[in-house]
Amino acid sequence: MDIDEEKIKNNTVCPDCSGKEMKVGYMFGDGGLHKRSSVFGMDAFRSVCDVAVVVCASCGLMIKFHAKNPEKL
């Protein structure tokens, strides 16, 4: 599932500084979401979906997190 970056940028206001310019970044690898499983299971070490992060361009506050493929959780 792709996120609509333009919609996010146009409809998000920072709660800290009231900034209206947003940036979208992505966390990959160790920053991805993991299934909750046995610590000994191999899937405990593998990310199942990447995370998109909406960041205020003015103050750097990370405002929203979106799972790219929530159906894989």
Residue 73 clears pLDDT 80, i.e. is over it = no
* Secondary structure of residue 71 in the 3-state scheme: helix
Which pLDDT belongs to residue 68?
A: 76
Into how many domains does the chain fold? 1
pTM for the model stands at: 0.69
CA-nearest of 69, 63, 50, 48 to 17 is 63
pLDDT tens for 16-67 read: 999 999 988 887 666 655 555 555 555 555 566 678 889 999 999 999 888 7
Rounded to the nearest 5 degrees, what angle is found at the Cα of 46, between the Cα atoms of 51 and 23? Answer: 15
Domain extent, residue 51, equals 5-72
Tokens of 43: 């899937």
Confidence of residue 71 (pLDDT cuts 50, 70, 90): confident
